[in-house]
Amino acid sequence: MANLTITTVHTVQVQQQVTLPASVAIAQGQYIIEDTNGKWAIGNATTQGNVGRRAAIATKAVDAGMPLTGLVKGVMDVGNALSALAFDAQVFLSDTVGGVLADTAGTVSKVVGTVRPAWGATAADKLLFVDL
C-alpha cells in the first residue's frame, strides 16, 4: 500500500458538501467523519467505526472548533498526489492514522473515489472524483 501525499487541494466541482465544526485540527485533503457530537473528526480504515457513516474529504485546513466544509461528492484537484495512478484507478482510505488516502484498501476497504482526467493543456491532469 502506498499512501498518497496531499499538500494542496482545490475543489473543482461540488455535487454534495457538508459544513460542520471540526472536533480537532484537520488538514486539507484528510478523510473526515461525523463524530457522535455532530462534528468532523479524522477517520482511518482500521475499524468500521473509524470509517464512519457520514464521510467527506476536507477542503481546507482548520483548527478545532472552526467550521469546515467536507466534499462528499464532486471533483478535487489534489496536486501531484495522483501522478503515479492510472485513470479510473480507485483511491482508498488508508489504515494510517490521520485520514490518509492510499492506492490500495486498508483493513476496512473504503473506496473514496476514482482518478479522472481533466484537460486544459497538452496532457491530461489527474483529478480525484470523490464519491462518499
pLDDT tens digit sequence for 71-125: 999 999 999 999 999 999 999 999 988 899 999 999 989 999 999 999 877 788 9
pLDDT tens digit sequence for 16-46: 999 999 999 999 999 999 999 999 999 988 8
Q: How many domains does the chain have?
A: 1
In Å, how far from its chain's centre is CA 4?
10
State the CATH number of the domain containing residue 57: 2.40.300
In a domain, 46, yes or no: yes
Are the beta carbons of 109 and 92 closer than 8 angstroms?
yes
In a domain, 94, yes or no: yes
- Does the pLDDT of residue 62 top 70, yes or no? yes
In a domain, 19, yes or no: yes
